[in-house]
Structure 1
Amino acid sequence: MLAAAGVESPRVDAEWLAAHVLEISRGRLLLVDAMRPDELHRFTTLVAERARRIPLQHLLGTAAFRHLELSVGDGVFIPRPETELLAGWGIDRTAPGAVVVDLCSGTGAIALSVADESKAAEVYAVERSPVALSFLRRNAAAFPAVRVVEGDVTDPALLAALAGRVDVLLCNPPYVPEGTPVPPEVADHDPAEAVFGGADGLSVIRPVIALAATLLKSGGHVGIEHDDVHGDAVPELLRADGRFTEVAAHPDLTGRPRFATARLG
């Protein structure tokens, strides 16, 4: 059913749904001989919903990201595996006691991973969507270092009290150029404002770069995820700003351009 519906990974998704119904890990499915009638009914119902291209994570209620299980649902962008690379890059540059900012935080995937895997003193997770903020606050509740901030990353006055104090700034903004075809899971369930970044996909990235230059301390690091068509454009925007050095482009695990990094001063 899932394959016929065009689901990209039908067997894996079916296994996750079965494990969810049975309340076991996916790895333990080999030990299960059969489902009880009520379990089978719930399973077939979930499969039918997945065949309608409802995102797997919405059916499970959670999304895995690095070492975390994040609460997700309609109205919040589902974190992608490729963003784990940007989060890891930022974690590697987060020294004990550091101040870290995560812009366009969504579920809090990047911010919470930094809090979980580093000894940062403060991690600011910035989000403007009321729906996304509800998921962000829920996910952040167990992390005392995380400060949830309601704000618009295109506002140059955002986090003004942190100007010149931030050690690491990370951002996974909306960056898909308007009009780009996307799968039904994205088109019908991810909020458009978290996916599309204007005609060229850079309408949020441009002000984020300017904001990063204001918030970072000298020698601080910035990392910004982007569309695979922006492999040259985003590094060039960082260079053109004139305040950044050590500009670098980074591929994802498939070799496609995925995020750009730089250092202030």
Structure 2
Amino acid sequence: MTSLPQHPSEGTERERPSRAIARAAQALAAAGVAAPRAEAELLAAYVLGVPRGRLALAGGFTADDLGRFDALVARRVAREPLQHLTGVAGFRHLELAVGPGVFVPRPETELLAGWGVEQGRRRGAPLVVDLCSGSGAIALAVAQELPAARVVAVERSPAALAWLRRNAADRAAAGDTPIEVVAADVTDPGLLADLVGRVDVLLCNPPYVPRSVSVPPEVAGHDPDEAVFAGADGLTVIRPVIARAAELLRPGGALGIEHDDTHGGAVPGLLAADGRFVAVAEHRDLVDRPRFATASRRADGQHAAGEPAWQTGSS
């Protein structure tokens, strides 16, 4: 385990945040953390109880502060997720409570949520369903940005459901439109039977990593396995989600599914082959990797005679 450089004895003196941050950034960089300076600053801001942008104006670290800070940095050096250390994950305009038992939402998923918000905005007061909701990131972002929407979040894991319900209660208390939380398995062919043919927008960030793929330590050691991996090809959840989405969506309804960056052809291909979707498109993330696929439910509600073509889109 990497050990942190020791801070000097300071008696009753406070240590400037910049010195502690520099030491921490060095230790984080040596441990392979991708953004060591930024993460050191975020941990310092967390300990001092100030926004990151006001660190330069903050008082120095007390001895107790330094002890807390060094302990957190040591845990991050061991590749415990930053969000587990601070207890929150930023997502669009939200801060969500996260921790052991729930998948930490990623920045790239904000693109899918934003696409869903735009689709919902075109429909006035839409019914939006978020499958594999986890912490509730997508559902709660939609509810905040589309206050007229009815939003239903579906999650199976009891541990994740606890975080989802906590975040839903927090956002409702803050004044956002309350969401509906449903405990269910998204691969159930009878999922949300009362909503068949009524959903305007369906969004899903499912488990999608192929079992053979190596993932970073933060994922392998901390994100729930069932929220990450989905069989040998990574598509064992996406296949039934597509089939059920075709039943739940109203004619003209919109579907968006996040997927692995190796699925840029596979997921659009599955949507096209289903026969009940048109306008199938692939979207890339901010570093130009295939990231999510979208489609519209056929306006006539029927299957196509052949397999429709799909195209590459942009996020």
TM-score bracket, shorter-length normalisation:
over 0.9
Corresponding residue for residue 241 of structure 1: 274
Shift of 1:117: 0.3
Please show how residues 63-102 of structure 1 align to structure 2 within 5 Å. Answer: 63-94=89-120, 95-102=123-130
Amino acid across the alignment from 1:85: L
**Ranges in structure 2 where 5+ consecutive residues have no aligned partner:** 1-26, 299-315
Corresponding residue for residue 160 of structure 1: 193
Say which of 159, 168, 171 aligns to 1:131.
Answer: 159
SS in 2 for 1:248: strand
Shift of 1:144: 4.3
Amino acid across the alignment from 1:112: L
Amino acid across the alignment from 1:186: V
Shift of 1:7: 1.1
Identity of aligned residues (%): 67
Contact kept in structure 2, 1:234 and 1:260, CA below 8 Å: yes
CA distance in 1, matches of 2:271, 2:178: 29
Larger Rg: 2
Contact kept in structure 2, 1:105 and 1:172, CA below 8 Å: yes
Shift of 1:37: 1.3
Corresponding residue for residue 262 of structure 1: 295
Say which of 200, 208, 222 aligns to 2:233.
Answer: 200
SS in 2 for 1:93: helix
Shift of 1:120: 3.8
Amino acid across the alignment from 2:234: G
CA distance in 2, matches of 1:34, 1:237: 56
Say which of 134, 151, 156 aligns to 1:106.
Answer: 134
SS in 1 for 2:211: coil
Contact kept in structure 1, 2:144 and 2:177, CA below 8 Å: no
TM-score of the superposition, structure 1-length normalised? 0.98
Shift of 1:222: 0.1
Shift of 1:32: 3.1
Q: 2:35 aligned with 1:9, yes or no?
A: yes
Contact kept in structure 1, 2:130 and 2:202, CA below 8 Å: yes
Alpha-carbon deviations, 1:175-199, whole Å to 9, x = none? 0000100111000000010000110
CA distance in 1, matches of 2:157, 2:61: 40
CA distance in 2, matches of 1:257, 1:247: 14
Say which of 182, 190, 206 aligns to 1:173.
Answer: 206
CA distance in 2, matches of 1:28, 1:96: 40
Corresponding residue for residue 25 of structure 1: 51
Say which of 240, 244, 258 aligns to 1:225.
Answer: 258
TM-score of the superposition, structure 2-length normalised? 0.83
CA distance in 1, matches of 2:217, 2:148: 38
SS in 2 for 1:249: strand
Amino acid across the alignment from 2:270: L
Alpha-carbon deviations, 1:189-216, whole Å to 9, x = none? 0001000011000000000000100000
**Ranges in structure 1 where 5+ consecutive residues have no aligned partner:** none
SS in 2 for 1:230: coil
Say which of 133, 136, 146 aligns to 1:118.
Answer: 146
Contact kept in structure 1, 2:94 and 2:141, CA below 8 Å: yes
Corresponding residue for residue 303 of structure 2: none
Moved over 4 A (4+): none
SS in 2 for 1:228: coil
Corresponding residue for residue 20 of structure 2: none
Contact kept in structure 1, 2:128 and 2:151, CA below 8 Å: yes
SS in 2 for 1:247: strand
Contact kept in structure 1, 2:210 and 2:229, CA below 8 Å: yes
Shift of 1:33: 5.7
Amino acid across the alignment from 2:96: L
Say which of 54, 78, 87 aligns to 1:61.
Answer: 87
**Count of residue pairs the alignment pairs up:** 265
Amino acid across the alignment from 1:62: V
Over 3 Å counting, the alpha-carbon distance change for 1:15 and 1:93 in structure 2 is same
Larger relative CO (CA 8 A, sep 6+): 1 or 2? Answer: 1
SS in 2 for 1:96: coil
CA distance in 1, matches of 2:106, 2:36: 18
Contact kept in structure 2, 1:225 and 1:258, CA below 8 Å: yes
Shift of 1:38: 1.2
Say which of 49, 68, 89 aligns to 2:75.
Answer: 49
Please show how residues 205-216 of structure 1 align to structure 2 within 5 Å. Answer: 205-216=238-249
Report the RMSD for the aligned CA atoms in angstroms: 0.9
Alpha-carbon deviations, 1:222-253, whole Å to 9, x = none? 00000000001000100000000000000000
